[in-house]
Chain A
């Protein structure tokens, strides 16, 4: 299958947590320059952003967020500022990449077009009901293997594409602290569908999704106390990913993982972060079994309704465990209110 990725299909969303984005934009210039780029400035950032010329972009600041969203309990600061970008976009597809990532390069040193790869992933079917041992059967040069039922070969629509990272991988604080020099140098030339009822930690560092379908689900609900600007201190994306997978499984949609890779600079002192109690580790022990056990009624037929159901279950079953979950449930419901008013206008 060959694809033309239409410029107008895609918005790129960048969370600006520091002012100088020159390296980011220059690094991605050959790839980004044909797309519209939504840049959201972190609340706490006062300095003006430096963005080199030649990009079709729009910057949104705290005052824009307040104007559009109004008074809200949702905290759009730090890494969560990008969700405003998801809200304000009007495109079918959104790709978001962390600002400390550059294009990975192929064997000839050419930058790899992560945007196009995400769109290809989203425009080709996913195959969640049976595992294909040659990975994505819709990639050129491959197919379904012997023993793959023919009735399952049409696949389902893919609405989530989770990319990976070379150099600084997305490790948590303890792993980062114990292995500060470990670099991910392994380029795995594969895309594969995440099977039905299988969950995984979705990283927001390099992600693409179908906004028309998953917009109500890609939400900033899980926020840790004292969450800083370091990626390893966040869980908003992990939470989204768990919700998104429940929705995909329930609605018969797909999620893929693997390529594209980005080159992640990363960095920072994990030992400092370890000094604070890292609640995220404990919370995952509750989060994973909870989502694995979520069953939605058959009558629930839209992503929004899925989110309503999940929020209620979170409040009921996880709320008593930790207050952060009650806040997450509130944020999910608040997000849907905002989405109905603002986000769904983009369709």
Chain B
């Protein structure tokens, strides 16, 4: 049964400051870190500097960080650096690869601490309070999501049964109440919603003002569009699947990096019996992205996703694939075989997927065995 002790004796969420890295891609500046200082300062940051490596990115005082620019990426990966995107925030996945921690939180450099109860008089750098009076701490909520089980095999109508004040409802089989380990925590955004370019063009003024006080497990067999703006994951459980693809400079597509990682990740999580949660926490998204620029980047993606989605919906991974890397290599073969005929880009992408895994294993030599033991036996379903 979920829950347990009454709320007065529920332990507070561990900080995990030695187990979690925060990965931030940036091309402009890191001023936004000031807003996040109370929440981020205990943690180690991995900053992946995109674009011109000769530019100096100033990191605000007092943060513990490592910074990688393009020169560093080329130096560390050599020819394999070709799998890391250039001039696109997809480059962030390099940060996942070099991290040595168990958990990753990634956020964009134009996101701020969220509000609840929006009104015109609230100035944007106020930290909002949730209905119980507490400040919204996105990182704390992600950690809660990752440290509590997911329930992908049967939908609980009261959403995450492991949240305070919730539980499994009548009819929920007891054998499924233990849940499975949570690999991904997908947060959401208030203010500017994560719309594609056509929707942005049609609804330029729409703002997401609805705070939905819910975390839920995305059921097994269901795909979703994973947004990398406010995302946390268990690197030991699923890290190698979080490849953000080939985007940006020299590529025919952009703004599908996180989508690609999300679809691969969900298929692999479903196969390995791991969970993906979505919902809280919210962050405040104040993006200044140009919908016409976005449309050019997304253009191919809008057509290709009509092929990509059915591909992932029908993708099956053989039982013998019991590590994330094996699952991922298998997926890369299927991408080549089935999506290669949609566009030659997918052959390049399939190659890059293999290069990514090779790079990951090179930089993380013990991770293959760690994955096998962390994942446990493949759940037959």
- Enumerate chain A interface residues (CB-CB to B < 8 A): 130-135, 139, 141-152, 162, 164, 169-172, 174-175, 178-179, 182-190, 194-203, 231-232, 235, 238, 241, 257, 280-281, 284-285, 288
Between-chain CB contacts (< 8 Å), 17 pairs: A130-B225, A131-B224, A132-B224, A134-B188, A135-B212, A139-B210, A141-B208, A142-B210, A143-B206, A146-B196, A147-B305, A184-B165, A188-B212, A190-B214, A198-B219, A199-B155, A202-B157
B169 cross-chain contacts in A, Cβ below 8 A: 169-172, 201, 203
A133/B227 contact (C-beta < 8 A), A147-B305, A188-B213, A238-B170 known: yes
B158 touches A145 (CB 8 A): no
Interface of B is mostly: loop
Apart from A146-B227, A175-B1, list 17 A-B contacts with CB within 8 A: A130-B309, A133-B278, A142-B193, A148-B225, A186-B166, A188-B213, A190-B210, A194-B155, A195-B219, A198-B155, A199-B154, A200-B155, A201-B171, A202-B157, A203-B170, A285-B174, A285-B175
- Enumerate chain B interface residues (CB-CB to A < 8 A): 1, 3, 154-159, 163, 165-176, 186, 188, 193-196, 199, 203, 206-214, 218-227, 255-256, 259, 262, 278, 298, 302, 305-306, 309
A185 touches B165 (CB 8 A): yes
A150 cross-chain contacts in B, Cβ below 8 A: 302, 306
Interface of A is mostly: loop
A235 to chain B: closest residue by CB: B171
A238 cross-chain contacts in B, Cβ below 8 A: 170-171
B206 touches A145 (CB 8 A): no
Residue of B156, B172, B218 near A131 (CB, 8 A) is B218
CB distance from B163 to the nearest CB of A (A): 8
- How far is it, in angstroms, between the C-alpha of A183 and the C-alpha of B226 when the chains are bound? 33
- How far is it, in angstroms, between the C-alpha of A241 and the C-alpha of B211 when the chains are bound? 29
B223 touches A131 (CB 8 A): yes
- How far is it, in angstroms, between the C-alpha of A132 and the C-alpha of B226 when the chains are bound? 10
Residue of A175, A202, A288 near B173 (CB, 8 A) is A288
- How far is it, in angstroms, between the C-alpha of A241 and the C-alpha of B212 when the chains are bound? 25
B305 cross-chain contacts in A, Cβ below 8 A: 147, 149
A143 to chain B: closest residue by CB: B199
A257/B173 contact (C-beta < 8 A), A130-B309, A149-B305, A149-B309 known: no
B168 cross-chain contacts in A, Cβ below 8 A: 171-172, 175
A145 touches B193 (CB 8 A): yes
- How far is it, in angstroms, between the C-alpha of A241 and the C-alpha of B171 when the chains are bound? 11
A184 cross-chain contacts in B, Cβ below 8 A: 158, 165-166
B170 touches A232 (CB 8 A): yes
A201 cross-chain contacts in B, Cβ below 8 A: 154, 157, 169-172
B207 cross-chain contacts in A, Cβ below 8 A: 141
B306 touches A151 (CB 8 A): yes
Residue of B210, B255, B262 near A141 (CB, 8 A) is B210
B211 cross-chain contacts in A, Cβ below 8 A: 189
A196 touches B212 (CB 8 A): no
A178 touches B1 (CB 8 A): yes
A285/B155 contact (C-beta < 8 A), A134-B188, A146-B194, A186-B165 known: no
A152 cross-chain contacts in B, Cβ below 8 A: 309
A179 touches B309 (CB 8 A): no
- How far is it, in angstroms, between the C-alpha of A115 and the C-alpha of B207 when the chains are bound? 28
B158 cross-chain contacts in A, Cβ below 8 A: 164, 169, 184
